[in-house]
Amino acid sequence: MRCLHSIVLVVSLAVVASSAAAPAAQQTGAVASKIAEKAFAESVRARVDARRAECMSAIGNLTFCHCIAGDLPLDVNFLRYIEVTTGVVNQAYSDQLSPDDKSTARRILSTRDRCVATAFGAPK
């Protein structure tokens, strides 16, 4: 009987401790989420800034480079943009691309066309 009381006491203490820890865990989770969101935002900003700097080195038009840097898919760096837009990706290689990669290439070309129109006016 004494053993049963000890078990009940231990279980009761565990329940009280876990319910007291729950708000602390939620708060810790919220803080971790905010830290992760901030880190992600900084990572995105760094990628966009790097693309803009690389574009400015190659193209030199701030309006165009700002558009390209901000509108390309996040996982596309400036070198990939150049490969797709200059046709470095040949037809044989293009045939081997996954549907997702083909979709990304179409998005790159669409972004290029929109940014050219924004920076330099519609083609005549």
Tens-place pLDDT, residues 63-115 = 999 999 999 999 999 999 998 888 765 665 667 778 888 888 889 999 999 99
* Structural domain contains residue 89: yes
* Structural domain contains residue 43: yes
* Structural domain contains residue 1: no
* Other Cβ atoms within 10 Å of 101 Cβ, number: 13
- What 3-state DSSP class applies to 88? coil
Q: What sections of the chain are H helices per DSSP?
A: 2-58, 62-71, 78-85, 91-95, 99-120
**Residue 97: DSSP 8-state:** S
Instruction: Say how many domains are in the chain.
Output: 1
* Structural domain contains residue 111: yes
What residue has token string 């400036």? 78
* Structural domain contains residue 15: no
In tens, the pLDDT along 36-77 reads 999 989 999 999 999 999 999 999 999 999 999 999 999 999
47 in Cβ contact with 74 (< 8 Å): yes
Does the global pTM surpass 0.85? Answer: no
* Structural domain contains residue 3: no
Alpha-carbon radius of gyration of the chain: 27
What is the residue range of 76's domain? 26-120
* Structural domain contains residue 19: no
* Structural domain contains residue 96: yes
